[in-house]
Amino acid sequence: MQHVVSELQAAHVGKLLFQEPLAAYTTWKIGGPADCLIIPDSKEALAETLRILYRHGVPWIAIGRGSNMLVSDKGIRGAVILLGRAFEYLNFDNERVIAGGALSFIKLSVLAGKQGLTGLEFAGGIPGSVGGAVYMNAGAHGSDVSRILKQADIVLETGELVTWTAEELEFAYRHSILHSIKGIVTEAVFELSSGNRTEIAAAMASYKDRRIKTQPLQMACAGSTFRNPEGTYAAKLIEEAGLKGLRVGGAEVSTQHANFIVNTGQATAADVLTLMDQMRSKVQELYGVDLIPEVLVVGEP
């Protein structure tokens, strides 16, 4: 790995941190160290980073804003890529919105609303980055990224820069082609519509009020743990199974929202995984439904 590090340093790709604990970079506040955390400071630096890693066969993962992700207690071998501040930009061009991949998805929705643009109200409570939202086809309140995305700029694992349309991204429920073709979203272009600022603000305030009342936002968590099965809700099945408050170590099924696992203070990834297994087993036993994780589990087993 040292010769790879030397190449990265010589290429001046950005900041390199070694054996960096990843708990500080995830919303669950859980995760062991990364062999090498790379924070590229430009699209060109990111492309060069990926070219070097690809040439040497070094595994890597991008972490965005660390939501919707569980990093193992042993950490991540190889490289972890975190887009830097250079990717946190936002530009408005009439009803077209151009956002950097590292920009907060919540911030994007709020600022778009203030511009009188409607279509992103659903994103007001999704705590990831724009890039992560595209990767996951993030959604809520009956809408998702696929409905408003025009195109996205992506650096593929080979270092090639491409621009893909929404159709080319092959969106499905919490899924895009980036789950099978590795790459990092550096920019997304959204097509919104002109709306009434007062109505947009009211809708977002209503969504926010509902989140505060129903979700454990004051605690470390990663959003929804499981995908909603067809025709029902994961939270409904988990709650009806009597699992609210179930605890393993420092991980607990939220008493406020059954599809959230919260870190009560000292939870480990092993605690969360054990709790997830217990939740899946109980729901399968009672209802014959296999809950599919929505959170991405990464790192050394």
Which residues are the active-site residues? 174, 224, 294
Helix 105-114 to helix 197-214 angle (10° resolution) is 150
Computed on alpha carbons and rounded to an integer, the radius of gyration of the chain in Å comes to 19
Q: Distance between CA 62 and CA 132 in Å, rounded?
A: 9
DSSP 88: -
Q: Distance between CA 27 and CA 242 in Å, rounded?
A: 26
Specify whether the CB–CB gap between 87 and 101 falls below 8 A. yes
Specify whether the CB–CB gap between 216 and 260 falls below 8 A. yes
SS3 121: helix
Question: Edge-to-edge strands of the sheet including 76-81?
Answer: 14-21, 33-40, 76-81, 60-62
Q: For residue 22, which phi and psi values (nearest 5 degrees)? A: -95, -5
